[in-house]
Amino acid sequence: MAKLYHFKSTLGKINSKISQGKSLQKYINKIKDFNELVMFEHSIFSLPFIFIAMIVAADGWFGFWLLLMGVLAAISARNFAMGLNRYADRDIDAANPRTKARPNVDGRLDSTSIMIFVVVNALVFVAVAYMINDLALKLSLPILFILGSYSYFKRFSHFAHMVLGISLGLAPIAGVVAVEANIPPWSVILSLGVIFWVAGFDLLYSLQDIEFDVKHSLYSIPSRFGAEATLFISFLFHMLSVIFWALFVWIAGLGLFAYVAVILSAIMLGYEHKIVRRDFTQIDRAFFTVNGYLGVAFLIFIILDKVFS
């Protein structure tokens, strides 16, 4: 009997550990689902330009505290915007073959979970702004409004691409506000470059859905003006982004490495357009790879400029 009791006790412990393991795996899978929902890796687009603005504003290293606050603010703001966008687009995503496997569509994440995620990230963003300074706190709610507007703007305007650009273009201004509680002219010029950069690559990305958008009467520049016009408009936007970045470097009084960053960005954007023009199936490669490297490279050269200038 004692052996039987010991065997049952051991078996119970094993079952308990298996259950704990399954629960842990369930939480891990849920985290993965939310990560897929908001495409966390896309944070690479805005984070470098936040840090660029902070480095220029501080004339060098701005401290670990502001680094932490900057990362938390950027991630929570983006999670809020992407979560709300996925919530608003769940019916559209379900009808689109390209997006019907997303967690907001296939049942992995229900609407309530997504909205809780959105609200929590909004609260985190406001709390971080409160810990930074008064101006950051005052701007936090207007920023959330702008970030959230993209999700619905594309339902009635072909120029939602610009709203997305403005949403990410706020990042450098937010970085400067965190450092000096002020909005100098050079930060606005830097942000204008980001706005046209983001709007330009969103135009290229939206070419994937041109037929779907036309069929379902959704608003976008590709669905309104066609692929060729979209490629041309995107090219113009990217030319403007390079011009604004060059002006930023000049107005901010930066050195040689900063100008190299601008030239390198122009080359990378040209390469992006070459890829997309040659083959629309390479849009993902152009969107993720080229634009991801662009922001990181720009940041590296700004750091080099501050170190060696």
Query: Residue 50's pLDDT is what?
Result: 94
Q: What is the residue extent of each domain of the chain?
A: 39-308
Q: Angle 241-138-168 (CA atoms, 0-180°, nearest 5)?
A: 25
Query: Residue 157's pLDDT is what?
Result: 77
278 contacts 237 by C-beta, under 8 angstroms: no
Nearest-angstrom CA–CA distance, 149 and 143: 10
- SS3 call for 159: coil
pTM: predicted TM-score of the whole model, two decimal places? 0.87
Query: Residue 5's pLDDT is what?
Result: 53
**Phi–psi pair at 246, nearest 5 degrees:** -65, -40
Query: Residue 127's pLDDT is what?
Result: 96
Q: Angle 149-194-129 (CA atoms, 0-180°, nearest 5)?
A: 60
Query: Residue 212's pLDDT is what?
Result: 75
Nearest-angstrom CA–CA distance, 193 and 199: 10
Mean pLDDT, the chain cut into blocks of 10 residues (309 residues total):
54 55 68 69 78 94 93 91 83 72 73 88 96 94 91 79 90 94 95 95 83 76 86 95 98 95 95 80 71 91 92
Query: Residue 119's pLDDT is what?
Result: 94
Architecture per CATH, domain 39-308, reads as Orthogonal Bundle (1.10)
Query: Residue 299's pLDDT is what?
Result: 96
Q: Where are the alpha helices (DSSP H) in the chain?
A: 2-38, 47-58, 64-88, 90-95, 111-132, 134-153, 160-180, 185-206, 210-215, 221-225, 227-251, 256-278, 283-284, 291-308
